């Protein structure tokens, strides 16, 4: 089956992309603020064949109780605004987190209802209802409907892009296949992909790849150095993806601080949000793709 959502576009054939004030690199921090159900399996330190899985649930729960506040304090010191991948259930269960992020001018993206349930295997009408609930709940809690989306576990159905655009979502972060934004085909309205990250993502890095804090810091530096060099020719995007129950731990937070100090110590870096990246691309570079057949 051929993918029809976007055309193949080799980066060497594209016209140069320029960020505001001639910046080489757009850098954004994605903080995943999620709700986990106590009777459903989810990210875990080790598989447990029974429920309730107290050990792993409590490990994840640390993020909303402690880790997020440590991350907020650090980002405040660095004068960095985050983009929040927000489960809509957080608005009801942990409203103080949404309030504090709103007070800081952070940006909110839809991220499903909870991170214990994914969009896969939903019918079109079921998925439409889930997306509508997420958008309306976040709008009620923050005063503004989200313009961006990251699926729980970055999962989609074949209908997801169309249903997102249908409710006014303008960019999606599930497709980690580029260093620049690009247009996607949808049945109505418009949608682009904004680069997110699989590798500079603390959850798969520490749990899946088993890297140390020092190794994760070096990965960030290495990725930054290459994209910063390439950005002199045409702008690039670098995303750092955080989970408060991972990088919000006392044993790891220093590596995030060192990474941000390294990045922000360079000229020509636009430290921004995913929504501002999308808005700039729409205003200066967006060309509607040919419609879906």
User: Does residue 228 form part of some domain?
Assistant: yes
Q: Of 249, 204, 216, which is closest to residue 59 (Cα–Cα)?
A: 249
At residue 13, the 3 state secondary structure works out as helix
Percent of the chain whose pLDDT exceeds 90: 93
Q: Of 123, 137, 202, 198, which is closest to residue 167 (Cα–Cα)?
A: 137
Indicate the pTM of the whole model.
0.97
How far, in Å, CA of 40 to CA of 28, rounded? 31
Q: Of 185, 206, 181, which is closest to residue 196 (Cα–Cα)?
A: 181
User: Does residue 43 form part of some domain?
Assistant: no
User: Does residue 10 form part of some domain?
Assistant: no
At residue 224, the 3 state secondary structure works out as helix
Q: Given a cut of 90, is residue 199 above it in pLDDT?
A: yes
Alpha carbon separation from 161 to 70, 136, 151, 158, 186 (Å, rounded): 34, 18, 11, 8, 6
What CATH number does residue 265 fall under?
Answer: 3.20.20.370
What pLDDT does 290 receive? 82
User: Does residue 44 form part of some domain?
Assistant: no
Q: Which two tokens stand for residue 29?
A: 């921090």
Higher pLDDT, 110 or 290: 110
Phi–psi pair at 21, nearest 5 degrees: 60, 25
Q: How confident is the model at residue 150 (pLDDT cuts 50, 70, 90)?
A: very high
- Total structural domains in the chain? 1
What pLDDT does 293 receive? 64
Domain of 99 in residue numbering reads as: 18-36+51-284
User: Does residue 73 form part of some domain?
Assistant: yes
HSE, side-chain direction, 13 A CA sphere, residue 6: 17
pLDDT in tens, 154-195: 999 999 999 999 999 999 999 999 999 999 999 999 999 999
User: What rounded mean pLDDT belongs to the chain?
Assistant: 96
Q: How confident is the model at residue 7 (pLDDT cuts 50, 70, 90)?
A: very high
């Amino acid at each position: 089956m051929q993918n029809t959502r976007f055309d193949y576009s080799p980066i060497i054939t594209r016209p140069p992309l320029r960020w505001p004030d001639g910046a080489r690199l757009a850098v954004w921090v994605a903080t995943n603020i999620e709700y986990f159900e106590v009777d459903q399996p989810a990210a875990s330190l080790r598989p447990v064949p029974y429920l309730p899985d107290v050990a792993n649930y409590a490990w994840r729960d640390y993020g909303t109780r402690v880790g997020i506040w440590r991350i907020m304090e650090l980002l405040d010191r660095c004068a960095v605004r985050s983009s929040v991948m927000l489960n809509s259930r957080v608005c009801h269960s942990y409203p103080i987190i949404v309030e504090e992020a709103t007070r800081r001018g952070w940006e909110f993206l839809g991220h499903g209802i909870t991170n214990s349930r994914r969009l896969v295997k939903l019918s079109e009408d079921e998925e439409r209802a889930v997306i509508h609930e997420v958008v309306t709940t976040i709008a009620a809690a923050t005063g503004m409907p989200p313009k961006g989306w990251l699926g729980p576990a970055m999962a989609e159905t074949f209908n997801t892009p169309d249903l997102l655009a249908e409710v006014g979502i303008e960019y999606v972060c599930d497709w980690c296949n580029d260093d620049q934004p690009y247009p996607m085909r949808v049945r109505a309205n418009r949608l682009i992909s904004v680069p997110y990250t699989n590798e500079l993502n603390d959850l798969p890095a520490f749990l899946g790849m088993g890297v140390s804090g020092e190794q994760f810091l070096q990965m960030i530096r290495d990725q930054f150095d290459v994209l910063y060099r390439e950005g002199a020719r045409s702008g690039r995007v670098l995303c750092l993806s955080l989970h408060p129950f991972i990088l919000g731990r006392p044993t790891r937070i220093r590596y995030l601080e060192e990474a941000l100090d390294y990045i922000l110590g360079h000229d020509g870096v636009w430290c921004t949000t995913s929504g501002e990246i999308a808005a700039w691309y729409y205003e200066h570079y967006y060309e509607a793709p040919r419609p879906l057949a």
